[in-house]
Amino acid sequence: MTYSRILVDTNICIDAAIVRKPFADTALKIINLSDSGEIEVKISAHSLGTIFYVLRKEFSISKRYALIEELRSVFGVAPVTQRIIDRALKLRWKDFEDAIHYHAALASDCDAIVTLNRSDFQESELPVLSPIQFLEAHVSEKNKNPAVFHSRVQNLLLQISGQLWLIFVPSTSKNSASHF
């Protein structure tokens, strides 16, 4: 199945921002697919505030603002309205934040939700995929090489985190590497 519009869970963005191994490579590939316009990626409005708060011990305030601005430039924002909150409350899911993500994804006409916590969405009517599952489905549907190379988003994340990230990816040429 082809997924052209997805909602990413907050954890995907945090993984990319702090270069959390082994999850950062798939998170960055999803960000790059959105940045290139190959897919439309949404993030719930409330996730931006959560990311800003969670990363307060990792990064200065100016770096957190730069990160949020960059995420906003790459992702669309799925609104979180009173109606979405009311619907999320009615679900009574164990994780209320995920219920909000779910209804924000539905309201934004998303094809799927991408998260590391698939079990939190057991009652979802939308497909819920891990980042790896999404990338595998995307690659097989597009019949493309899974390598997604260096982007402006990666440049910013490197500046913010101060870390060097090297990932070897399959390519048509020998000895190809992608630097994040």
Residue 178, pLDDT above cutoff 70: no
Highest mean pLDDT among 70-74, 120-124, 174-178: 70-74
What's the CATH number where 50 sits? 3.40.50.1010
Residue 179, pLDDT above cutoff 50: no
Q: What is the pLDDT of residue 155?
A: 61
Angle at CA 61, nearest 5°, toward 78 and 41? 20
CA–CA gap between residue 93 and residue 95 (Å, rounded): 5
pLDDT class for 101, splitting at 50, 70, 90?
very high
Structural domains of the chain, count = 1
The domain in which residue 24 lies consists of 5-179
pLDDT, tens digit (0-9, with 9 covering 90-100), for 106-160: 999 999 999 998 887 878 899 999 999 999 988 765 544 444 444 566 566 666 6
> How confident is the model over 73-78, as a mean pLDDT?
96
Residues whose CB falls within 8 Å of the CB of residue 68, separated by 6 or more in sequence, listed in order: 48, 51, 52
Q: Is 179 exposed, middle or buried (0-12, 13-18, 19+ CB in 10 A)?
A: exposed
Residue 100, pLDDT above cutoff 90: yes
CA–CA gap between residue 5 and residue 26 (Å, rounded): 17
pLDDT class for 21, splitting at 50, 70, 90?
confident
